[in-house]
Chains A and B, each alone.
Chain A
Amino acid sequence: MCLSIPAKVVDINGNIADVSVGGAIFKAGLQMVENVEVGDYILLHTGFAIQKISEDEALETFRLLKEIEDAMKK
């Protein structure tokens, strides 16, 4: 379910982070994620960070997809 989108942490004040989605800044409660730092990406849903997004995994997904696409072209 649910509209959650990747947002970049730009500031942290205690349990609440300011996160940026393309320049728009939202508040995200960090009660459910650990070791979040400025610069990390989190999934924002209804005012909370529900998961950290692994940038490595994201890059790996897109790299794999590109491999598939390139293989198709041959």
Chain B
Amino acid sequence: MSEYVSLNHGSGGSLTGKLIRSVFVKRFGMDEPLTDSALLKEKGLLLAFTTDSYVVDPIFFPGGDIGKLAVCGTVNDLSVSGAIPKYISASFIIEEGFSFHDLELIADSMSSEAKNAGVRIVTGDTKVVERGKCDKLFINTSGIGLMKTGFENISSAMNVKPGDKLIINGSLGNHAIAVLSARKELTFSSPVTSDCASLNHLINNVLEECSEIRFMRDLTRGGLATVLNELADMISSGIVINESSVPVEEPVKGLCEILGFDPLYLANEGKVLFVVGKEEHQKVLDVLRSHPLGKYSEVIGEIADNNRNMVVLNTAIGGRRIISMLSGMQLPRIC
């Protein structure tokens, strides 16, 4: 391990995994596989518990802000574990000099998103630090949800098998590009807005109507490619994705071309990957597409019985390549 923590350790790729496993997991006695939420049994009650910190810069971006992000992120982590999100905590670390007006805007945003998701923010904490000791505002949210019975195995991918189909609920990379384009020092503008959204109602619809949901995970830092690699590690078979089925909006595509980014690795905040039984995939698609947050859902691939632990992409021109885990964050390139 290197001596100093670098930005790559926070990118969501393999270096983040290394940091977590080598520093925290063993010391805290945590169980693998590490999932979006911890599933806890206590006196016959099955709870999901999750936590997340938000340090996004800039704090206001097209389609949302750090507050909305914080609520959606925690709601989604609970939801993709098969839980009904109920209660959220919100802790704030505020830089000296931060405007009250902006703080109120963010609190309004959190309150409105919590109402929208049907959760309550019930406890919190506030700290103020000297100018320069944090970047404007950091938020941590933790959340508790009640597990729906029968969904305990969704996060661990235990029931995933070859032939299962992979579905996502819309286009990739919007959040990452929206945040990037809002940074003042950059010399491009784009019409892209963040897809930041609470997905619990969408997911609930699917879980109520469909019985063959084998796995769910939300596609945040590190993007679809990271989640696919994490999934491939958890199962004994492989994954095949069809590039032409993966939705990416034109401006996102264009920006990726110019900056040298791969949309498969870009962060999203309103997208979830479903692994569903083959026979049910059309039903899942229909349920998803009848909800505004799932209008552009697509089947993007399937679990293969070869390519053990590998994620293979069938390119748009009929070629094949391996999609591997990024070790650190994507850097823009000229070459």
Contact = CB atoms under 8 A, between A and B. Distances in A.
A and B, direct touch (CB closer than 8 Å): yes
A3 to B, nearest CB: 5
Contacts of A25: 188-190
Of the candidates A3, A45, A46, A47, the one having the most CB atoms from chain B within 10 angstroms of its own CB is A3
A21 B258 contact: yes
B189 to A, nearest CB: 5
A58 interface: no
Given A25-B188, A27-B187, A2 B254 contact: no
Interface residues on A, range: 10 to 19
Contacts of B260: 3
A5 B252 CA distance: 14
Of the candidates A20, A26, A46, the one having the most CB atoms from chain B within 10 angstroms of its own CB is A26
Contacts, number: 53
Given A22-B251, A23-B251, A46-B334, A5 B190 contact: no
A68 interface: no
Given A1-B335, A47-B187, A23 B258 contact: no
B187 A3 contact: no
B132 interface: no
B335 A21 contact: no
A23 B334 contact: no
A1 B333 CA distance: 11
Interface in B293-335: 333-335
Interface residues of B, number: 20
B148 interface: no
Interface string B226-262: 0000000000000000000000001111110110100
A24 B181 CA distance: 9
Interface string A23-51: 11111000000000000000011110000
Classify the secondary structure of A's interface with B.
strand
B257 A5 contact: yes
Given A3-B334, A3-B335, A26 B191 contact: no
A22 B335 contact: no
B192 interface: yes
Interface in A1-16: 1-3, 5
B257 A23 contact: no
Nearest to A2: B335
B258 to A, nearest CB: 6
B254 A22 contact: yes
A2 B260 CA distance: 10
Contact of B255 (A1, A21, A47): A21
Interface string B151-175: 0000000000000000000000000
A27 B255 CA distance: 13
A24 B190 contact: yes
Contacts of A21: 251, 254-255, 257-258
Given A3-B260, A47-B187, A23 B254 contact: yes
Contacts of A45: 334
B187 A26 contact: yes
Interface of B: 177, 181, 187-192, 250-255, 257-258, 260, 333-335
6 contacts: A3-B335, A5-B257, A21-B257, A22-B251, A22-B252, A44-B258
